[in-house]
Amino acid sequence: MPHSKNKLLIITGGSAGIGRATAELFKEKGYQILNLSRRPLPPHLGQHLQVDLSDPNWPNQATAQIDQTCAQRDQITLIHNAAILRKDRLQAASAELAKVFQVNLIAAQQLNEIVLPHMRRDSAILYIGSTLSEKAVPGALSYTASKHALLGLMRASCQDLMGSGIHTACLCPGFTDTQMLRDHLGGDPKIIEQIAAANSYHRLLTPKEIAQTLLFAAATPAINGSLIHANLGQRET
């Protein structure tokens, strides 16, 4: 039988929503899983490392265990999925800005610096952006700004990884049926219905659909440096 690669998925925010669906799918495909988040990952899915990414000093408690888990892996896929979404505006956003940027952007780069020395050719670094990585809506200033910055981090990653055999991409999901989205919309079924009607299929995406797109991106070096929209074809207004 051909040699089966010793593959590892490292994901942040893998305990729910898109992260949970991604951990489940990669597990099915033979990856071992390491999740970093506050909430636990079910033990059958893989290893959980409880960290609070909003604390700038989180690497102090996590680096040794990450190093141990990454050692001697043939292939590592690193997915930066954790994010927080606040309702804030230009008139009053500074109070939350540092925390949002820490979770949505800075923690990703901190994790890059820990994992990158262990990554061999055919590994991948994938960033979860948003439709708000390229545009904006009212009432989401810190999230929008952080997702714009995350796209820049991906593009810089591509340039700095030239010749390494490690590829990168930023996947921007459309409106996906997650608890974070429903909480942000206040659970209002009319608003959810309106949002669902704004794409070609008149429905929300499922977390599994985003997970399937991430699996494709992890295995496809041709998309190195790419911004990928997975949104069912949004109607532009």
Length of the chain: 237
Residue 86: the pLDDT is 92
Dist. CA 72–CA 7, nearest whole Å: 10
Residues whose CB falls within 8 Å of the CB of residue 142, separated by 6 or more in sequence, listed in order: 86, 88, 93, 96, 97, 100, 101
Give the model confidence (pLDDT) of 112-150 as tens digits: 999 999 999 999 999 999 999 999 999 999 999 999 999
pLDDT of residue 4: 53
Give pLDDT, residue 3: 44
Predicted pLDDT at 202: 84
The pLDDT of residue 51 is 97
pTM for this predicted structure = 0.93
pLDDT of 168 = 98
pLDDT at 177: 79
The pLDDT of residue 110: 98
pLDDT under 50: residue ranges of the chain: 1-3
Residue 23's pLDDT is: 97
| Radius of gyration from C-alpha coordinates of the chain | 17
Count of other CB atoms within 10 angstroms of residue 8: 25
Residue ranges in the chain assigned as alpha helix (H): 17-28, 59-70, 94-101, 107-115, 141-160, 179-184, 189-196, 207-218
| CA 191 remoteness from chain centre | 25
